[in-house]
A and B are shown apart, each in its own frame.
Chain A
């Protein structure tokens, strides 16, 4: 009994001591006023945003500059605009502040450049409104079946292997494929792998991904190399591919270009892509607004960052004359290149050479 009493006393004494010592880990909290919400927003970005060094941005100074502009008398819309302006300093298309009355965007990654794309024009003048569409992809044959054309508008819509197989089978007599990624603002990165798997016949190094390991601006993990495998059962497209890009080719679409352009049978035509190579995360601040930001940098297979875009192999802008005449001269060039190839001898050397002439 003595031993039992001793055991019970020990247990009773240890329990509160353990509770007191370990308890719940603390979580920072902020007041739900303008200053509290501003500080929460600034801190979330400060601790999680991944491109401070690449953009050479003094986030402390940015925070001080905008915090000084807060006034308790300002209305909520003005406060939202102030926070949006602070986030715009990141110069990042992946950064948004979302409230119930507005969503902020940084648009200069595309708004300062020609659009170089008109889907209506392509549908009307090239496709005659006759094309197959599903899962964000629309395709048809051009120029008497010599050219396969596929417009992929968004990575947010699911794309299936079955659909891609069917598309490639319908293009089996075409000399080459035009993959139009203009105005594709990205979406699910997993769709990149699904698409690339149909363009490779052996595993390829797709790139490197890293992530933050702590709240410091320089706290990053060792880059992790990741690979893509060919589709295990399905149709492979190993003929020439021309990818069309513009400044609105962003995020996952930029990532697809980053991987595909390294393939020997692929060239890129159009304008520089919009970039966006940081995989984003979302968070919240006390007033219920959401903030999204780049959190995890993805590098290409040469360990180069494409956050600011990828230059095409052949830079072409749509000209006012061609638009006036109802032509997409970027698409025209791609068709011309594929048609000029003898389908029996077309290979990477021919396509790349044709572009550089």
Chain B
């Protein structure tokens, strides 16, 4: 497993080093007076996406019960993406926040509820390739996740907490076309953590023991063999004037195993989002008439 971590870190370091060497300042101009690069001929709008998702969740958390649970899930999200300043035509970054909640019941009896709540903050950076009507993205992301699963019927162990910090791979493909003469972008975005750390108590460890001060072994190293997550978002973005309507489908798969405790969570979500691109302008500094706009996605 150590070899795996080293390999992942090497790949990430190599990628970012290559980025530093390979950057090209598209749209920038060189100012000989100040010996600096001016970027005022380049506008990088921020794409803000506010989303609501609804669907189903299928959860198994063997610390709480050996049974599978299924039920309804909902999520709220905010995502902010922008072309990056150092090489805007090739690199984009995205910052996202997401709140997930699910109300599920034990199968097949369905007489005990399991609540699932989680909060996620993530940041990604991807290289972009434009090929005709296609855009391809590949890069990495890092994410902080925290949450809990709660079974009120379990009097002595009602909660299983979850927390992780991960670094992983991100990739996307987008196809730009039109629908009824309105710009349409179809995109598939995939994310998968490759390494990181996560919280996991031992097999029968009570949270009371943790409360008493025993924190040994609570933080584990993550790799896809013990901490597998995959998130795929298939979306269609239709531009309606200055607003963008996003419809989509998200697949979330999470399967974590530590100390013989398994936590599986599979979610299928319908996505509805409103997005817009905006530019921050200074009243004292008008953009250049030659300014070029580079969107993070469109």
Q: Is residue B136 contacting chain A, with contact meaning CB distance below 8 A?
A: yes
- By the criterion CB–CB under 8 Å, are A279 and B109 in contact? no
Considering only residues 132-184 of chain A, those with a C-beta below 8 Å from chain B are: none
Please name all residues of chain A whose beta carbon is closer than 8 Å to the beta carbon of B109 when the two chains form the complex.
32, 286-288
Interface window among B70-78, B205-213, B240-248, B274-282: B205-213
Please name all residues of chain B whose beta carbon is closer than 8 Å to the beta carbon of A280 when the two chains form the complex.
156
Least Cβ–Cβ distance between A189 and chain B, in angstroms: 6
Considering only residues 188-246 of chain B, those with a C-beta below 8 Å from chain A are: 190, 192, 202-206, 208-209, 211-214, 216, 224-225, 228, 230
Write the chain B residue with the least CB distance to A290. B153
Please name all residues of chain A whose beta carbon is closer than 8 Å to the beta carbon of B228 when the two chains form the complex.
22-25
Q: Is residue B284 contacting chain A, with contact meaning CB distance below 8 A?
A: no
Contact with A along B149-164 (1 / 0, CB 8 A): 0000111110000000
* Max chain B C-beta neighbours (<10 A), residue from A4, A100, A213, A288: A288
- By the criterion CB–CB under 8 Å, are B112 and A221 in contact? no
Write the chain B residue with the least CB distance to A8. B136
Q: Is residue A212 contacting chain B, with contact meaning CB distance below 8 A?
A: yes
Q: Is residue B138 contacting chain A, with contact meaning CB distance below 8 A?
A: yes
Partner of A282, one of B157, B203, B211: B157
- By the criterion CB–CB under 8 Å, are B156 and A281 in contact? yes
Considering only residues 1-30 of chain A, those with a C-beta below 8 Å from chain B are: 1, 4, 7-8, 11, 15, 18-19, 21-29
Instruction: Please give the number of chain B residues whose Cβ is less than 8 angstroms from any Cβ of chain A in the complex.
Output: 51
Q: Contacts A22-B225, A282-B156, A290-B153 known; A100 to B111 CB distance under 8 Å?
A: yes
Q: Contacts A22-B255, A44-B66 known; A221 to B205 CB distance under 8 Å?
A: yes
Contact with A along B252-296 (1 / 0, CB 8 A): 010111011010101000000000000000000000000000000
Partner of A29, one of B68, B110, B253: B68
- By the criterion CB–CB under 8 Å, are B203 and A214 in contact? yes
- By the criterion CB–CB under 8 Å, are B206 and A295 in contact? yes
* Max chain A C-beta neighbours (<10 A), residue from B190, B257, B260, B262: B260
Q: Contacts A27-B66, A29-B68, A224-B212 known; A211 to B264 CB distance under 8 Å?
A: no
* Distance of A28 Cα from B264 Cα, bound (Å): 12
Please name all residues of chain B whose beta carbon is closer than 8 Å to the beta carbon of A290 when the two chains form the complex.
112, 153-154
* Max chain A C-beta neighbours (<10 A), residue from B155, B190, B266: B155
Write the chain A residue with the least CB distance to B129. A4
Contact with A along B53-68 (1 / 0, CB 8 A): 0000000101011111
Partner of A209, one of B157, B190, B209, B255: B209
* Distance of A287 Cα from B67 Cα, bound (Å): 10
Q: Contacts A209-B214, A215-B260, A226-B212 known; A288 to B156 CB distance under 8 Å?
A: no
* Distance of A168 Cα from B264 Cα, bound (Å): 51
* Max chain B C-beta neighbours (<10 A), residue from A27, A285, A296: A27
Instruction: Please give the number of chain A residues whose Cβ is less than 8 angstroms from any Cβ of chain B in the complex.
Output: 50
Contact with B along A252-292 (1 / 0, CB 8 A): 00000000000000000000000000011111111110101
- By the criterion CB–CB under 8 Å, are A221 and B202 in contact? yes
Dominant SS among interface residues on chain B = loop
Q: Contacts A212-B203, A224-B212, A287-B109 known; A292 to B155 CB distance under 8 Å?
A: yes
* Max chain A C-beta neighbours (<10 A), residue from B129, B203, B255: B203
Partner of B209, one of A26, A27, A211, A286: A211
Q: Is residue B179 contacting chain A, with contact meaning CB distance below 8 A?
A: no
Please name all residues of chain A whose beta carbon is closer than 8 Å to the beta carbon of B138 when the two chains form the complex.
7, 11
Q: Contacts A4-B131, A281-B156 known; A211 to B204 CB distance under 8 Å?
A: yes
Q: Is residue B48 contacting chain A, with contact meaning CB distance below 8 A?
A: no
* Distance of A25 Cα from B202 Cα, bound (Å): 17
Please name all residues of chain A whose beta carbon is closer than 8 Å to the beta carbon of B49 when the two chains form the complex.
none
Q: Is residue B3 contacting chain A, with contact meaning CB distance below 8 A?
A: no
Least Cβ–Cβ distance between A54 and chain B, in angstroms: 16
Contact with B along A219-231 (1 / 0, CB 8 A): 1010010100000
Please name all residues of chain A whose beta carbon is closer than 8 Å to the beta carbon of B131 when the two chains form the complex.
1, 4
Q: Is residue A48 contacting chain B, with contact meaning CB distance below 8 A?
A: yes
Q: Is residue A351 contacting chain B, with contact meaning CB distance below 8 A?
A: no
Q: Is residue B82 contacting chain A, with contact meaning CB distance below 8 A?
A: no
* Distance of A212 Cα from B138 Cα, bound (Å): 43
- By the criterion CB–CB under 8 Å, are A296 and B209 in contact? yes
* Distance of A18 Cα from B225 Cα, bound (Å): 10
Instruction: Give me 16 A-to-B residue pairs in the complex whose CB atoms sit less than 8 angstroms apart, sorted by A's number.
Output: A1-B131, A7-B138, A8-B136, A18-B224, A19-B230, A24-B266, A25-B228, A27-B262, A29-B66, A40-B66, A48-B204, A212-B204, A213-B202, A213-B259, A283-B154, A296-B209
| Residues in A lying within 8 Å of B, measured CB to CB | 1, 4, 7-8, 11, 15, 18-19, 21-29, 32, 40, 43-44, 48, 50, 100, 189-190, 209, 211-215, 219, 221, 224, 226, 279-288, 290, 292, 295-296
| Residues in B lying within 8 Å of A, measured CB to CB | 60, 62, 64-68, 106-112, 129, 131, 136, 138, 153-157, 171, 190, 192, 202-206, 208-209, 211-214, 216, 224-225, 228, 230, 253, 255-257, 259-260, 262, 264, 266
Taking A18-B192, A27-B62, A29-B66 as given, write out 6 further A-B residue pairs in contact, using a Cβ cutoff of 8 Å, ordered by the A residue number: A25-B256, A29-B68, A32-B109, A209-B214, A214-B203, A282-B153
